[in-house]
Chain A
């Protein structure tokens, strides 16, 4: 019987298998004569003149070795470092290949990411997440790893290394409207936040205080949550148009940002109200009784005891709400609210997948950034309250 080397990290083994399979069986890039035709597959390393640029895959090779190494802080640090470098290296290699291909092709030709790239990139990023967890990094360490990865990839973007990739060619076309679309997207989400908090938090408090209110509020919000977003925009169209016709001075209409913000608010109410109620319900009854027994007024009990203890669960709800709203705001482009959805739909209708990607990737990045920012905020809030993160 052959002695097998023991497997120390099954997650890393799975990611390594994904990477190898993608490298061998899936196209790394796609190359098309123009943006409307579907491209032909280009395997990893199959670009003429690529030569030494394959060295960018060195960190990927390191990742493949991780499952066989005896685990420890050093190996886990290597795991995270190799993951970050592999994620950046794959992007760099794609940009390099695109530049080589562009040098010999017509100006209309397009090089886009292939399935192999996406799978390998995903495996590298998952390796970073797994490694960060195994290293037991605190909030500051996690942010540092995220910033490092963003800098390595963003730096190539800023330096023009990726300019020959199709998504960046689309970006060049959309340069005038892209920044505006990102800002508008963020503004839609931000505009929905105050009404969400002003309505959702009191609803959650009322639902926790009174079972009757809870039985009324949550089913209604649940139903709202199940309405498809397109349908909700449609449902808002008629009453808002009527309102706009009745009061032309209000500056609202059946289409545009106002109904988008209303719809985002309606969707956000459930997670906010639900988590507000759940956070308050999690306050131990003896603590509440002690607060009453030592002579705190109801207001003091809420602000000094219940609110701080409910804060972690509330912040988790806010995180879900924001991530959800960032995604939903993309659909709002259909009713003329603008934002990154406008770029995505333009791409969909023109059958230009890279244009869709140009809209979708920033949506994902916004969602990830919102998620990370709120995780950091709740970690800080918890440490200020003197407790370790749950």
Chain B
């Protein structure tokens, strides 16, 4: 879907991106993570030609983007930034309709799309479509920012630390919504963050960058169980490694089918970290598990949490 081949970008004497090769497959939720100055935002901004590389080739859906008109390329991709950047003189509706308007969609289609997106992002369409950005909370503004980016049904969504400025509760809600949107639409998402918990929670694959180079690329589980070097171990967090490790797997994967246990059941989709928290809170070493419809699936034992991941 997106590929970097030997891409380098310098700002004066500073090499922000150093001979980087990276591939983002179609449908991936790819998180770029690294310390500040690692070049992660520069990589993202080269994908929609907000920054031009000094060397190397960037392809999007097979096309060398240097040959495309920047505007044409950008209208095919959604773009969400940390500071949101809603147009303050436009209503929520007109903000969301910005790209469809640029593409010349008919009015009725734009209107339906705005309604659909506001509903998708849990904003009441009738209440918010006529509101101005300054009337919204920070979390609501970023919901509109995401809706604007999704408006023209892009195949690719670029997000540059979109939730970093939000409070933890709002951030958690928006992360859950992004995960749901990714599942529902299959849009390829490239997401920049410096927060490893966010990366582990959202990514299907993570790329760790440092000083403009790719340090490691892999699934959250790969990163946790097989860190490439000390920089990755630092990012993952040595102390909390175990908890992060538990956070990326669901209860369903470790449930012993057919067994029963007393107490309220855990949801099969809950993370192992949540399961551990529930066991500690209830003072038990086993809990029943139920599926999405509330039907009993089996039981989860504390010992199952201590096993390594199934590689079978």
Which residues in A have some Cβ–Cβ distance to B below 8 Å?
284, 286-297, 300, 304-305, 308-309, 385-387
Q: Which of B71, B83, B90 contacts A296 (CB 8 A)?
A: B71
> Does B86 sit within 8 A of A, measured CB to CB?
yes
Do residues B102 and A296 form an inter-chain contact, with CB atoms below 8 A? yes
- Residue B241 is within 8 A (CB to CB) of chain A in the complex: no
Whether the Cβ atoms of A293 and B74 lie closer than 8 Å is: yes
> Measured between alpha carbons, how far is A292 from B158 in the docked complex, in Å?
13
**B residues in contact (CB < 8 Å) with A:** 48, 50, 70-75, 79, 81, 83-91, 98-99, 102, 132, 134, 145, 148-149, 158
The residues of A that contact B84 with a CB separation of less than 8 Å are 286, 290
Q: Cα distance A43–B71 when bound, in Å?
A: 76
Chain A residues whose CB sits within 8 angstroms of the CB of B88 once the complex forms: 284, 287, 309, 387
- Which residues on B sit within 8 Å (CB–CB) of A305? 87
Rounded to whole angstroms, the CA-CA distance of A387 and B50 in the bound complex is 30
Query: Which residues of A are found within 8 Å of B72, using beta-carbon distances?
Result: 295
Contact B50–A287 (Cβ < 8 Å): no
Contact of A294 with B91 in the complex, beta carbons under 8 Å: no
| Alpha-carbon separation in the docked complex, A284 to B89 (Å) | 12
- Identify 22 residue pairs between A and B in the complex whose beta-carbon atoms are under 8 Å apart, listed by A's number: A286-B81, A286-B84, A286-B85, A287-B87, A289-B50, A292-B50, A293-B81, A294-B75, A294-B98, A294-B99, A294-B102, A295-B70, A295-B72, A295-B73, A295-B74, A295-B75, A296-B98, A296-B102, A386-B89, A386-B90, A386-B91, A386-B132
Chain A residue contacts of B132, Cβ below 8 A: 386-387
Most chain A CB within 10 A, of B75, B87, B145, is at B87
Nearest 8 CB-CB pairs, A to B? A290-B85, A295-B74, A295-B75, A286-B83, A286-B85, A293-B79, A385-B89, A295-B71
Q: How far is the CB of A288 from chain B (nearest CB, A)?
A: 8
What is the minimal beta-carbon distance from B140 to any residue of chain A, in angstroms? 16
Residues of A close to B75: CB separation below 8 A: 294-295
> Bound complex: CA of A386 vs CA of B102, how far in Å?
22
Q: A304 to B89, alpha carbons, bound, how many Å?
A: 10
Give, as a whole number of angstroms, the nearest-CB distance from B249 to chain A. Answer: 35
Cα distance, A286 to B102, chains bound together (Å): 19
Closest to B98 in A: A294
Bound: A3/B206 CA distance, A: 77
Could you tell me if B102 and A309 are in contact, using CB atoms closer than 8 angstroms? no
B129 → chain A, closest Cβ, in Å? Answer: 13
Contact between B86 and A290, CB atoms less than 8 A apart: yes
A296 to B74, CA, bound (A): 8
Closest chain A CB from B101 CB (angstroms): 9
Find chain A residues with CB under 8 A from B79 CB: 290, 293-294
Residue of B nearest to A384 (CB): B89
B130 and chain A: residue at smallest CB distance:
A386
Chain A residue with Cβ nearest B85: A290
- The answer to whether A293 touches B48, judged by C-beta atoms less than 8 angstroms apart, is yes
Q: Give, as a whole number of angstroms, the nearest-CB distance from B94 to chain A.
A: 10
List the A residue with the shortest CB-CB distance to B83. A286
Tell me, rounded to whole Å, the shortest Cβ–Cβ distance linking B70 to chain A.
8
Contacts of A284 in B (CB 8 A): 83, 85, 88
A-side contacts of B73, CB under 8 Å:
295
Distance, CA A385 to CA B94, complexed state (A): 12
Chain A residues whose CB sits within 8 angstroms of the CB of B71 once the complex forms: 295-297
How far apart are the CA atoms of A296 and B101 in the complex, in Å? 11
A139 to chain B, nearest CB (A): 19
CA–CA, A371 and B89, complex, Å: 25
Task: Give Cα A255–Cα B86 distance, bound, in whole angstroms.
Answer: 53
Report the minimum CB–CB distance from A283 to chain B (whole Å): 9
Once A292-B50, A294-B148, A295-B71 are accepted as A-B contacts, the answer to whether A287 and B102 lie under 8 Å apart by CB is: no
A289 touches B102 (CB 8 A): no
Q: Are A289 and B81 in contact (CB under 8 A)?
A: yes
Task: Give the complex CA separation of A288 and B88 in angstroms.
Answer: 11
Contact of A289 with B89 in the complex, beta carbons under 8 Å: no
Complex Cα spacing A304 to B81, Å = 20
For B74, list chain A residues within 8 Å (CB): 292-295
**Smallest Cβ-Cβ distance to B71: which chain A residue:** A295
Which residues of the other chain, B, contact A304 by a CB distance below 8 angstroms? 87
Residue of A284, A288, A295, A300 with highest tally of chain B CB at under 10 A: A295
CA separation between A284 and B84, bound complex, in Å?
A: 11
A289 cross-chain contacts in B, Cβ below 8 A: 50, 81, 85
B residues in contact with A297, CB < 8 Å: 71
| Contacting residue for B89 out of A290, A293, A387, CB 8 A | A387
Min CB distance A279 to B, Å, is 13
Q: How far is the CA of A290 from the CA of B148 in the complex (A)?
A: 10
Query: Given A293-B74, A294-B99, 16 more contacts at CB 8 Å?
Result: A284-B85, A290-B84, A290-B85, A290-B145, A292-B50, A293-B79, A293-B81, A294-B79, A294-B102, A294-B148, A295-B74, A296-B102, A308-B89, A309-B89, A386-B89, A387-B89
Inter-chain contact A293/B91, CB cutoff 8 Å? no
Q: For residue B89, which residues in chain A have a CB less than 8 angstroms away from its CB?
A: 308-309, 385-387
Distance in angstroms from A341 CB to nearest chain B CB is 41
Which residues of B have CB within 8 Å of A286?
A: 81, 83-85
CA distance A325 to B149 in the complex (A): 47
B102 closest partner in A (C-beta): A295
Neighbouring A residues of B86 by C-beta, 8 Å: 287, 290
Closest Cβ of chain A: how far from B282's Cβ, in Å?
46
Give every chain B residue within 8 A of A386 (Cβ-Cβ): 89-91, 132
With CB as the reference atom, state the residue of chain A lying closest to B90: A386
Least distance between A150 CB and chain B CB atoms (Å): 34
A294, A385, A387 interface centre (most CB from chain B within 10 Å): A294
- Taking CB atoms, residues of chain A closer than 8 Å to B85 are 284, 286-291, 293
Which residues of the other chain, A, contact B148 by a CB distance below 8 angstroms? Answer: 294
